[in-house]
Amino acid sequence: MARAEANWERLVRAALRGDRMGGVYGVPASGIAGNVPSSLGNNTHIDEVLRAADEIQDEDPTVARILCEHAYALAQNLDPNSEGRGVLQFKTGLMSVIRQKLAKREGGAIDRSQDIAKLQEFYKLYRERHKVDELCDDEMKLRESGVFSGNLGELERKTLKRKKVLATLKVLWSVIEDITKEISPEDAANLISEEMKKVMQKDAARTEDVVAYNIIPLDSLSTTNLIVTFPEVRAAISSLQYHRDLPRLPNTISVPDARNSDMLDLLHCVFGFQKDNVSNQREHIVHLLANEQSRLGKLSGSEPKIDEGAVHVVFSKSLDNYIKWCNYLPLRPVWNNIESLTKEKKLLYVCLYYLIWGEAANVRFLPEGLCYIFHHLARELEVIMQKQTAEPAGSCISNDGVSFLDQVIYPLYEIVAAEAGNNDNGRAAHSAWRNYDDFNEFFWSEKCFQLGWPWKLSNPFFSKPNRKEQGLISRNHHYGKTSFVEHRTFLHLYHSFHRLWMFLLLMFQGLTIIAFNNGNFDTNTVLELLSLGPTYIIMEFIESVLDILMMYGAYSTSRGSAITRVIWRFCWFTASSLVICYLYIKALQDGVQSAPFKIYVVVISAYAGFQIIISLLMSVPCCHGFTNACYSWSFVRLAKWMHQEHNYVGRGLHERPLDYMKYVAFWLVIFAAKFSFTYFLQIKPLVKPTRLIISFKGLQYQWHDFVSKNNHNAITILALWAPVATIYLLDIHVFYTIMSAIVGFLLGARDRLGEIRSVEAVHRFFEKFPEVFMDKLHVAVPKRKQLLSSGQQAELNKLDASRFAPFWNEIVKNLREEDYISNTELDLLLMPKNIGGLPIVQWPLFLLASKVFLAKDIAVDCNDPQDELWLRISKDEYMQYAVEECFHSIKYILSSILDKEGHLWVQRIFDGIQESISKNNIQSDIHFSKLPNVIAKLVAVAGILKETESADMKKGAVNAIQDLYEVVHHEVLFVDLSGNIDDWSQINRARAEGRLFNNLKWPNEPGLKDMIKRLHSLLTIKESAANVPKNLEASRRLQFFTNSLFMQMPLARPVSEMLSFSVFTPYYSETVLYSIAELQKKNEDGISTLFYLQKIYPDEWKNFLTRINRDENAADTELFSSANDILELRLWASYRGQTLARTVRGMMYYRKALMLQSYLERMHSEDLESAFDMAGLADTHFEYSPEARAQADLKFTYVVTCQIYGVQKGEGKPEAADIALLMQRNEALRIAYIDVVESVKNGKPSTEYYSKLVKADIHGKDKEIYSVKLPGNPKLGEGKPENQNHAVIFTRGNAVQTIDMNQDNYFEEALKMRNLLEEFSQNHGKFRPSILGVREHVFTGSVSSLASFMSNQETSFVTLGQRVLSNPLKVRMHYGHPDVFDRIFHITRGGISKASRIINISEDIFAGFNSTLRQGNITHHEYIQVLFFFNL
Distance, CA of 352 to CA of 264 (rounded, Å): 8
Distance, CA of 683 to CA of 508 (rounded, Å): 9
Q: What residues contact 1363, with CB distance under 8 A and at least 6 apart?
A: 744, 747, 748, 1420, 1422
**280 pLDDT higher than 90:** yes
pLDDT of residue 1171: 43
CB 240 within 8 Å of CB 285? yes
pLDDT in tens, 1291-1314: 999 999 999 988 999 999 999 999
Angle at 1262 between CA 1260 and CA 1263, to 5 degrees: 105
Residue 505: pLDDT band by 50, 70, 90 thresholds?
A: very high
Helices (H) and strands (E) counted in the chain, each on its own, are: 66, 14
pLDDT in tens, 649-665: 888 788 888 888 999 99
pLDDT average, residue stretch 874-880? 92
> What is the maximal distance between C-alpha atoms in the chain?
132
**642 pLDDT higher than 70:** no
Closest by CA position to 1189, among listed 138, 143, 141 = 143
Buried b / exposed e along 1346-1374 (16+ C-beta atoms within 10 A): ebeebbeebbeebbbbbbbbbbbebebbb
Computed from CA positions of residues 966, 968, 972, 973, in that sequence, does the dihedral angle turn out positive or negative?
negative
Distance, CA of 1258 to CA of 53 (rounded, Å): 15
Using N-to-C axis directions, what is the helix angle for 367-385 and 320-328, rounded to 10°? 100
pTM above threshold 0.85: yes
Query: How many percent of the chain have pLDDT more than 70?
Result: 86
**1035 pLDDT higher than 60:** yes
pLDDT of residue 152: 56
pLDDT of residue 632: 59
* DSSP codes of every residue in 82-123: --STTHHHHHHHHHTT-HHHHHHHTT----HHHHHHHHHHHH
Closest by CA position to 67, among listed 129, 115, 130 = 115
pLDDT of residue 830: 95
Distance, CA of 428 to CA of 424 (rounded, Å): 5
- Could you count the other beta carbons within 10 Å of the beta carbon of residue 786? 13
Distance, CA of 116 to CA of 173 (rounded, Å): 10
Closest by CA position to 1284, among listed 1070, 1069, 1139, 1067 = 1067
Who has greater pLDDT, 1318 or 717?
1318
Residue 470: pLDDT band by 50, 70, 90 thresholds?
A: very low
**42 pLDDT higher than 70:** no
pLDDT in tens, 677-694: 999 999 999 999 999 888
pLDDT of residue 588: 83
Burial of 699 by CB count in 10 Å (0-12 exposed, 13-18 middle, 19+ buried)? exposed
Computed from CA positions of residues 1087, 1089, 1095, 1096, in that sequence, does the dihedral angle turn out positive or negative?
positive
pLDDT of residue 223: 66
**36 pLDDT higher than 80:** no
pLDDT of residue 860: 86
**474 pLDDT higher than 70:** no
Pairing verdict, β 1295-1298 and 1331-1338: unpaired
**1088 pLDDT higher than 80:** yes
Using N-to-C axis directions, what is the helix angle for 1032-1044 and 793-817, rounded to 10°? 140
Query: How many percent of the chain have pLDDT more than 90?
Result: 45
Mean of the per-residue pLDDT values of the chain: 84
Distance, CA of 907 to CA of 905 (rounded, Å): 5
pLDDT average, residue stretch 1087-1103? 93
Who has greater pLDDT, 1180 or 154?
154
Q: What residues contact 536, with CB distance under 8 A and at least 6 apart?
A: 502, 506
pLDDT in tens, 179-189: 777 777 666 66
Phi then psi for 627, rounded to 5 degrees? -65, -35
pLDDT of residue 706: 54
**146 pLDDT higher than 90:** no
State the Rg of the chain over Cα: 39
Q: What SS3 state is found at 28?
A: coil
Torsion of CA 675, 680, 686, 691, to 10 degrees: 100
Least confident of 543-557, 740-754, 903-917, 1284-1298: 543-557
pLDDT average, residue stretch 1257-1263? 80
**927 pLDDT higher than 50:** yes
pLDDT of residue 147: 42
pLDDT average, residue stretch 1146-1152? 96
Q: What residues contact 545, with CB distance under 8 A and at least 6 apart?
A: 570
pLDDT of residue 1304: 92
Residue 41: pLDDT band by 50, 70, 90 thresholds?
A: low
Question: In 1211-1321, where does DSSP find H-type helix?
Answer: 1214-1225, 1279-1287, 1307-1310, 1313-1317
pLDDT of residue 861: 84
Least confident of 231-245, 468-482, 763-777, 1395-1409: 468-482
Distance, CA of 438 to CA of 909 (rounded, Å): 89
pLDDT of residue 1185: 84
**88 pLDDT higher than 80:** no
pLDDT in tens, 290-334: 999 999 988 888 889 999 999 999 999 999 999 999 998 889 999
Residue 640: pLDDT band by 50, 70, 90 thresholds?
A: low
pLDDT average, residue stretch 1018-1028? 91
**107 pLDDT higher than 50:** no
pLDDT average, residue stretch 253-272? 90
pLDDT in tens, 1106-1127: 999 998 888 888 888 888 999 9
In the 3-class helix/strand/coil scheme, how is 432-468 assigned residue by residue?
A: HCCCHHHHHHHHHCHHHHHHCCCCCCCCHHHCCEEEC
pLDDT of residue 790: 86
Least confident of 154-158, 571-575, 692-696, 1379-1383: 154-158
**1173 pLDDT higher than 80:** no
pLDDT of residue 290: 96
Angle at 380 between CA 378 and CA 384, to 5 degrees: 110
